[in-house]
Structure 1
Amino acid sequence: MLFLQQQNGSGVNLLYSTPSCYTFQQNHLNQIWNGKDDDFFPYASSAHTFWTGYFTSRPALKGYVRQSNNYLQVCKQLDTIGNFETGWMTSSQVEVLKEAMGVAQHHDAVSGTEKQHVANDYAERLANGYKSCENVTNMALKRLLPRFQQEPPNLQFCTLTNISKCEITEKYDKVVLEVYNPLGVDSDTWVRLPVNGTVFDVFSFTGDAIPYQVIPVTSETKKIPERKGTYAQNELVFQLTGISPLGLQTVWIQKGKGDNSSYTPFKAFPSADFTMQNKLVSLTFDHITKQVKEMENLQISLKIPLNQRLMHYFGFSGNNSKDEFRASGAYCFRPNATEPKTMIVQSAYIVQGELVQEVHQVFPWASQVFRLYKDANNVEVEWTVGPIDISDKSGKEVISRYDTSLQNGGVFYTDANGREIQERKRNYRKTWNLNQTEPVAGNYYPVNSRIFIRDPAPDAQFTVLTDRSQGGSSVNDGQIELMVHRRLLHDDSFGVGEPLNETGADGKGLVVRGKHYLVLDTIKNSARQHRLIGLWLYRQPVIMLTNVSMDREQWYTQFNTQVSGLSTLLPENVHILTLEMIPPNPLTPISLRQAIVRLEHFYENGEDQEMSKPAIVDLQMFAFFNITGAVEMTLGANMMLKDLNRLQWRVMPSGDEPTIPYERQIYRELKLDSKGKLPQITLNPMEIKTFIIDFNG
């Protein structure tokens, strides 16, 4: 520590310090501190400047970052499961995407508050990381798939299937899919692939035929400028079930012959109200407005009026010279009115098939698809917005608003980083009396994965899950609104230095596509529903593809068509948050390997009668290597937990401190017993435990 004192002059002493030193000295003042257990969101720097716009800014980049994390976790898992002799080389390739993801967490990156050319650089870094991880994935598949000596061909990620673009499935008649499940439990998923043709043979890993449906690519999708060069006319839709935990499942697809009874063309919207339903959910649409009007959970006969609309606020145009002239920008959300403008459905059409039913809505510069898959307990809403019209010289902030009959009394709930659920109260702050000056922006909160409202009278909870971080609120009772896209013509003078005006590939305005998932259930049952869907959205199965010249019998003979990375199933309330190889020293014997294993109990205390109970986990659950020892670490895996010595603070009690019914256990060094077993691990609700494991192949 450097201490400087002036000999002559003001008598000011200059002390060079660090945050750690400063905190240590504050702790040793031995004073009683005030505690704060409420949220900092939403925060404002002045009466008309709520920093709630960046919750949605650059939604395409936000979606790309979320998707990239999915791929990164798959890459790290396969790097570990592959147990490569040259592990230091593969880990260096994983590092490319790790570093790109790390940079993307900067407060001016995923937040969307950077200049356009900087956002482009973040996206390019992520794309380079994908290619590097594709190499690691292929190296792992060459170890996991062969039954004999023959290696499989290299497989590729198709990252643009959301706009019906994938060269392999469009161009070739025979394609093999390897689908990897990064979850610690069996997973199901619906696959949609861009294709040409209407008749196919689709086979599972057992060689059984998989039912499929072929749907035309919409004209709205064909207009997306990033699709340039693709010529897929249809989408092939089918379901995969029971994909093994940390495992692979093979699907064989080839063009077939015969009738095209699985082809389901678009149909005109009926002249009467239209209901699409499966065994679990129904959704009814008004024949005049073409908008949804009612949702029902058929299992429990719970029905609510539901109206969903795409709407937009006009962003306030100001010069920022005074607070009252603050413009809406990348950081600041400031609409020029409290009621958004409704976007009118210009046309609508439907798809009716055995596997999926759809209602398509077309707006002047947006479109939506409501999808109900067979046996699904939720409704998928795919929104496509852009290019946002600015011909009137006005910036616009587009929302998807869901209006229900639920009386939530100004209370709604959002997640905190996909984990704890936070209660929000409209126009309220716990620690001071709020004078609300921005009734919309001042009630916006970050929604990382879900938002919901409740009404005890009918015992109903309506939940909307998102595929990326968005700003959201319940501005009026019975409503949920989520901002999906923003295009603004003025900077808010907080450092970006340019308007949030993303112009896209053709310079006319960025088109963004994303999804919401709607769940209606009782308050008691809803937690299990949104926890499982939220986890699946966070760690979706990843598809890798290749074209082949051999026939199906040859492939199924030469290669494993189902692989599982776990020999013991995890409890349903536990998630493998991290499985990551620690890069070995090239001089270290191959038999000495270490990896980080991070386990998460993803239910809160009291949230579900069964799932909120403590979980027992066996660390020796992996199929491809043997764990010989383990030690519990701090969350960042940079210190043994037994060596952690936290500062103790004297805090004034607030009177509503939470009661923790479970005692946290610290697992020091875990060693094999006489039977070659490690002690089991107990995880309490919302607890994350981090271990460094020793293993050999």
Structure 2
Amino acid sequence: LLSDFCRYANEAQKNGSNFNLVYSTPSCYLKALHDAQISWPTKTDDFIPYASDPHAFWTGYYTSKPSLKNLERMGNSFLQLSKQLTSLAPSKEDKSLRVHLDYFSEVMGVLQHHDAITGTSKEHVTQDYTVQIYAAFKACSYSAKIILNQLTARQTNKDKPPESEAARYLDQATGHPNFTFEFDTCLLLNVSSCEISETRDKFMVTVYNALAHSVFSYVRVPVDGKYDYEVTDYRSVPIPHQMISVPPQVTALDPAKSAGYELVFLATELPPIGYKSFFIVRKPVKALNTPRVLVPEVVLLPNSMSSDEPQKPPRNSNIVSIGNKYFSVGFDSKGFLNSISLEDGSEHKLSQNFFYYEGAVGDNRVFKNRSSGAYIFRPNSTERFVADHVNVKVIKGPIVEEVHQTFNDWISQVIRIYRDYNYVEFEWLVGPIPVDDKVGKEVVTRFVSDIQNSNVFYTDSNGREMIKRVRNHRDTWNLQLQEEIAGNYYPVTANIAIEDGQKRLSIMNDRSQGGSSLQDGAIELMVHRRLLHDDAFGVDEALNFTHPIRGKHFLLFGKLDGNVPSMEARERFLQAEKLLPPWLFFSDVSSYDYEDWRKTYSHIWSGVALSLPQNVKLLTLEPYKELSYLIRFEHILEKNDDVEYSKSFTFNFKDVFGSIFDINRLEEMTLDGNALLEDSTKVRFRFKPESNGFTNEIVKRETVPEETQVKGVTIIDEGNPSDEPAKELPDDSAKWDITVQPMQIRTFILTVNPSIYDK
């Protein structure tokens, strides 16, 4: 059939047709374009949002099934951690480590399917995705137990692992695993549930940092509120902590499991690609040597405890505020956020509230009768308010200050500011969305500021570059919108921001969501959807999602004053920390005395000898083939984001990994890691882009001279792997230097000698 089609089309050339059809391949097509000397116009936007008709904007799936989107984000975080641990395991004897890692990778790959991460699969399929990722978590959690027990049993990176590594974890009587420490993962921390921390008299919290630079992080641990607690690090240093009650809306999600209180403390100097452990003991009240701060839910002056009974702030005042050394936020007499004050004393308008859109309902037979559904976001009116006032409880302590807001019986929120963080955290709980009125609802959170952004806002492109969006506008054609709300929604996988010449507001999320700026000064993000009708695009069932959803937003607000780091750099750094947040492992240490625990085991460890700067990310560290590893480095800033952090950065690979790996050779690869970069550049066609306004015209260009050798390609080869230790080489440190430019990702295959401990 295709041959006939080509023949008939080519015969039409006799009648003046300019078409010539041949069988081809992508490489042949690319060569033909190159030979035609075609140059393409510069295009700085993308093809989002997509619409299949004037009333069907495919912007609903940006938010559909938010619990699966969050589970995927958690899965990615644990997968990267598992890749790192498997690469750095002292003993590779247990072959299940690689099997578990491959399984987790496969499951995460399945979740990237266009009907998985999007939330557009049938519900029973979504449940199967959940079962698969839980099984993958369980498999790699077992691997983490093995590797972390290996690491804690060693005192230095050069210590050899014990003999019979696999056998040492089996109880000889029962054949069941018998680990020194459990290193359990609590997947229900978002509902304040963890069996070990709630029930054990002594437990260990191990905080793993998957970033290549040191960070500090506030740790929240579910605990039994009837006790006091003592937190100590590996140096015998008591750690100040604060006890905070969990909102009743959260404990109601699982009354049998959720703890009533959380223990909060600051974990400082978490090592890069490494962990740090804390020893926690629960004791009867008033039996502690360290200060315990349990703050009642009242409006408080600093360090004051005037009442044990919950109180509401007075309705006719604006006295409620929380803050730290960087800023404070204020609340009006109705309990709503209404202002933010910066450290220079300036005060700015900043409000936040929840709204919902009612989903359009139709038979989907004609365009104007399109229903809102799993794919399509189509509100039938403007937003509806959920509350005209909120009930508020305020908690102020030395570590964190919080405002607990209750909007109605299905929306609540905690706004918190930690002592040393320069952003505001919003932790919201939405659902189950009521549909007793037979109307589907799509819930959004909206932030309103005094920023005059002139219809312009920015959203991230898959967590990397920020793309300029203009309300009611497309760069390459004249836009006529019949759906002005849905047609201005864009995917927000990490960050959405607005700015004027003086200040900038950005909101980061913990999962992919749809978002927009529908009016100057405002940012909104859709957090949950429940719809009663299908949109007829293939799911064939309504998005009747009945579960409540708990999630977080992180707000940055500041002036564009040229300071370093800039607002854009601060966003990038925070975004990186929220994509790979510190991961908590829990172990029962009831049988251990603290001094024995401290002296016998290694409770701080790093997989690198040198910390990378905040603007350079270790994007990938994973096993590749036998004695080799896939490693990627990413510069996370754009070239104009910051006067300092946007500069290129050079580091020495051996300085970073030389203490862990007995390095044999390092080869630079293409981004996907399956071809040498040097080889790929030999056959790469170069096109010289020419800015041509915002049109789609194709223009002729002058002949481009043949490219010379591409700079920046380095292949370092010290010979083949062997059983012999690496020979002492002359000073060649410059050969191991790696430079990353803004937004650049460089990929390498590292080959090591058989033993990483015979150095």
TM-score (norm 1): 0.92
Secondary structure in 2 matching 1:494: coil
What is the CA–CA distance in structure 1 between the aligned matches of 2:740 and 2:490, rounded to whole Å?
30
Alignment of 1:516-665 (within 5 A): 516-523=553-560, 524=562, 525-548=566-589, 549-584=591-626, 593-620=627-654, 621-622=656-657, 623-644=659-680, 645-649=683-687, 653-654=691-692, 665=712
**1:172-200, CA deviations, whole angstroms, 9 ceiling, x for partnerless residues?**
11101111110110011111111113410
Cross-structure match for 2:239: 210
Letter in 2 for 1:324: K
Q: Does 1:247 align with 2:274?
A: yes
What is the CA–CA distance in structure 2 between the aligned matches of 1:309 and 1:3, rounded to whole Å?
58
Q: Is the Cα contact below 8 Å between 1:96 and 1:128 reproduced in 2? A: no
The structure that has the greater radius of gyration is 2
**1:239-298, CA deviations, whole angstroms, 9 ceiling, x for partnerless residues?**
1010000111010111023438511122223213201111111000012x1000101221
Cross-structure match for 1:489: 532
Letter in 1 for 2:633: L
Shift in alpha-carbon separation, 1:187–1:223, aligned structure 2, 3 A: same
What is the CA–CA distance in structure 2 between the aligned matches of 1:47 and 1:564, rounded to whole Å?
54
| Structure 1 unaligned spans of 5+ | 503-508, 585-592, 658-662
**1:305-340, CA deviations, whole angstroms, 9 ceiling, x for partnerless residues?**
111001100011111111101111111110111334
Within the candidate set 522, 525, 533, 1:479 is matched to 522
**1:535-572, CA deviations, whole angstroms, 9 ceiling, x for partnerless residues?**
10011111111112111111111101111111112133
Alignment of 1:448-487 (within 5 A): 448-456=493-501, 459-487=502-530
Letter in 2 for 1:598: R
**1:50-108, CA deviations, whole angstroms, 9 ceiling, x for partnerless residues?**
11111111111111111110000000000011143336531111111111110001111
Shift of 1:23: 4.9
What is the CA–CA distance in structure 2 between the aligned matches of 1:664 and 1:89, rounded to whole Å?
41
Shift in alpha-carbon separation, 1:133–1:302, aligned structure 2, 3 A: farther
What is the CA–CA distance in structure 1 between the aligned matches of 2:107 and 2:292, rounded to whole Å?
46
Shift of 1:9: 11
**1:459-484, CA deviations, whole angstroms, 9 ceiling, x for partnerless residues?**
11111111111111100001000000
Secondary structure in 1 matching 2:462: coil
What is the CA–CA distance in structure 2 between the aligned matches of 1:654 and 1:205, rounded to whole Å?
62
Letter in 2 for 1:603: L
Q: Is the Cα contact below 8 Å between 2:394 and 2:403 reproduced in 1? A: yes
What is the CA–CA distance in structure 1 between the aligned matches of 2:239 and 2:6, rounded to whole Å?
85
Letter in 2 for 1:615: F
What is the CA–CA distance in structure 2 between the aligned matches of 1:39 and 1:33, rounded to whole Å?
15
What is the CA–CA distance in structure 2 between the aligned matches of 1:301 and 1:104, rounded to whole Å?
47
Q: Does 1:79 align with 2:117?
A: no
Cross-structure match for 2:716: 669
Cross-structure match for 2:364: 320
Cross-structure match for 2:249: 220
Shift of 1:528: 2.1
Cross-structure match for 2:700: none
What is the CA–CA distance in structure 2 between the aligned matches of 1:132 and 1:654, rounded to whole Å?
53
Letter in 2 for 1:445: Y
What is the CA–CA distance in structure 1 between the aligned matches of 2:388 and 2:201, rounded to whole Å?
41
What is the CA–CA distance in structure 2 between the aligned matches of 1:9 and 1:24, rounded to whole Å?
25
Letter in 1 for 2:229: F
What is the CA–CA distance in structure 1 between the aligned matches of 2:149 and 2:731, rounded to whole Å?
33
Q: Does 1:280 align with 2:326?
A: yes
What is the CA–CA distance in structure 2 between the aligned matches of 1:112 and 1:276, rounded to whole Å?
37
Cross-structure match for 2:17: none
Within the candidate set 171, 182, 195, 1:154 is matched to 182
Secondary structure in 2 matching 1:578: strand
Q: Is the Cα contact below 8 Å between 1:146 and 1:560 reproduced in 2? A: yes
Cross-structure match for 1:96: 103
Q: Does 1:417 align with 2:424?
A: no
**1:481-534, CA deviations, whole angstroms, 9 ceiling, x for partnerless residues?**
0000000111111111111111xxxxxx21101101111112242112111110
What is the CA–CA distance in structure 2 between the aligned matches of 1:665 and 1:27, rounded to whole Å?
24
Secondary structure in 1 matching 2:577: helix
Shift in alpha-carbon separation, 1:602–1:76, aligned structure 2, 3 A: same
Within the candidate set 391, 394, 416, 1:347 is matched to 391
Secondary structure in 1 matching 2:293: coil
Secondary structure in 2 matching 1:91: helix
Secondary structure in 1 matching 2:653: coil
Identical-pair percentage? 38
Shift in alpha-carbon separation, 1:664–1:395, aligned structure 2, 3 A: farther
What is the CA–CA distance in structure 2 between the aligned matches of 1:495 and 1:24, rounded to whole Å?
38
Letter in 1 for 2:716: E
Cross-structure match for 1:330: 374
Q: Is the Cα contact below 8 Å between 2:227 and 2:285 reproduced in 1? A: no
What is the CA–CA distance in structure 1 between the aligned matches of 2:6 and 2:107, rounded to whole Å?
49
What is the CA–CA distance in structure 2 between the aligned matches of 1:9 and 1:337, rounded to whole Å?
52
Shift of 1:30: 5.2
Secondary structure in 2 matching 1:310: strand
Secondary structure in 2 matching 1:190: strand
Secondary structure in 2 matching 1:566: coil
Q: Does 1:238 align with 2:265?
A: yes
Secondary structure in 2 matching 1:156: coil
| Structure 2 unaligned spans of 5+ | 12-19, 156-161, 163-167, 169-178, 299-310, 696-709, 719-727
Q: Is the Cα contact below 8 Å between 2:573 and 2:615 reproduced in 1? A: no
Quote the RMSD (CA, aligned, Å).
2.5
Letter in 1 for 2:567: S
Q: Does 1:688 align with 2:725?
A: no
What is the CA–CA distance in structure 1 between the aligned matches of 2:335 and 2:10, rounded to whole Å?
76
TM-score (norm 2): 0.84
What is the CA–CA distance in structure 2 between the aligned matches of 1:301 and 1:632, rounded to whole Å?
50
Shift in alpha-carbon separation, 1:231–1:619, aligned structure 2, 3 A: same
Shift of 1:154: 2.6
> Which of 480-489 and 78-87 deviates more?
78-87
Shift in alpha-carbon separation, 1:600–1:499, aligned structure 2, 3 A: same
**1:661-680, CA deviations, whole angstroms, 9 ceiling, x for partnerless residues?**
xx851122354951364420
What is the CA–CA distance in structure 2 between the aligned matches of 1:124 and 1:356, rounded to whole Å?
36
Shift of 1:25: 5.3
